[in-house]
Amino acid sequence: MAYKFKEEYNIEVTDGLQENYKNILEGIGEDISREGIENTPERAAKAMQFLTQGYKMDAETILKKAMFKESYDEMVVVKDIELYSLCEHHMLPFFGKAHIAYIPNGHIVGLSKLPRVVDVFARRLQVQERLTHDILECINNTLKPKGVAVVIEAVHMCMMMRGVQKQNSATTTSGFRGQFEKIETRNEFLKLISSDLK
């Protein structure tokens, strides 16, 4: 059977956003009737809904549906999780990688759920600092592990395309709870992901 990709959008939301995008395009001097632009308001309206779908998702529910009792109590690391988000200040993209570790305390979680948690919070208007905190607190509060660590490294188009226009800058944020607040545990985690950090 051939793969079929289908996206569903709220018609009322799409119509409202579409009108707003028409106004924006006209406001910057674009001819909204020309061939390359005439369907842009609808496409942009659908794209914005996709890029902000995290508002309609619950990260804790995602984790709880994939928690399993397990006696394993060593560090679990999922690194190089791609993330794409929009900064809330200019609505321009920022993107990069997230690295997550936790030390189980009676429960483990399906590994694919950690990237899904990243997506839930990234698919909202964000700042990188809050994104790091949201991911960290969700995992800590839901799994209640012995410790959790999150490091995000990202580049921001609002710094590269406008403003200071610095093309080679990257921003790193981190958060640690529980056992990861101990320097030896934190260093073990940072060593495991160090090949990915610049």
Domains and CATH numbers, the chain: 11-51 (1.10.286.10), 57-194 (3.30.1130.10)
Provide the pLDDT for residue 67: 97
CA 146/CA 104 separation, integer angstroms: 6
Q: Which residue out of 18, 49, 126, 128 is catalytically annotated?
A: 128
Provide the pLDDT for residue 3: 47
* Token couple for 191: 């060593």
Q: Given a cut of 60, is residue 176 above it in pLDDT?
A: yes
Q: Which residue out of 49, 126, 153, 156 is catalytically annotated?
A: 156
Q: Which residue out of 18, 49, 87, 126 is catalytically annotated?
A: 87
156 catalytic? Reply is: yes
CA 80/CA 82 separation, integer angstroms: 6
State the residue for tokens 């900064």: 87
Sign of the Cα pseudo-torsion (129, 130, 136, 141, in order): positive
User: Per the annotation, where are the binding residues?
Assistant: 87, 90, 158
Q: What is the pLDDT of residues 125-173, one digit of tens each?
A: 999 999 999 999 999 999 999 999 999 999 999 988 887 777 778 999 9
Using pLDDT thresholds of 50, 70 and 90, give the confidence band for residue 1: low
Q: Which residue out of 82, 89, 129, 181 is catalytically annotated?
A: 89
Provide the CA 90 distance to its chain's centre, in angstroms. Answer: 17
Q: Given a cut of 90, is residue 197 above it in pLDDT?
A: no
Mean pLDDT of 43-69: 97
User: Per the annotation, where are the binding residues for Zn(2+)?
Assistant: 87, 90, 158
Provide the pLDDT for residue 84: 98
Q: Are 151 and 98 in contact (CB under 8 A)?
A: yes
Q: Are 99 and 193 in contact (CB under 8 A)?
A: yes
128 catalytic? Reply is: yes
Residues 108, 113, 118: CA angle, nearest 5 degrees:
125
Query: Can you list the positions of beta strands (E) in 27-90?
Result: 67-69, 76-87
Burial of 146 (0-12, 13-18, 19+ CB in 10 A): middle
138 catalytic? Reply is: no
Look over the chain and give the mean of its residue pLDDT values, rounded to a whole number.
93
Kind plus residue range of the DSSP H or E element containing 48: helix 40-51
Provide the pLDDT for residue 196: 53
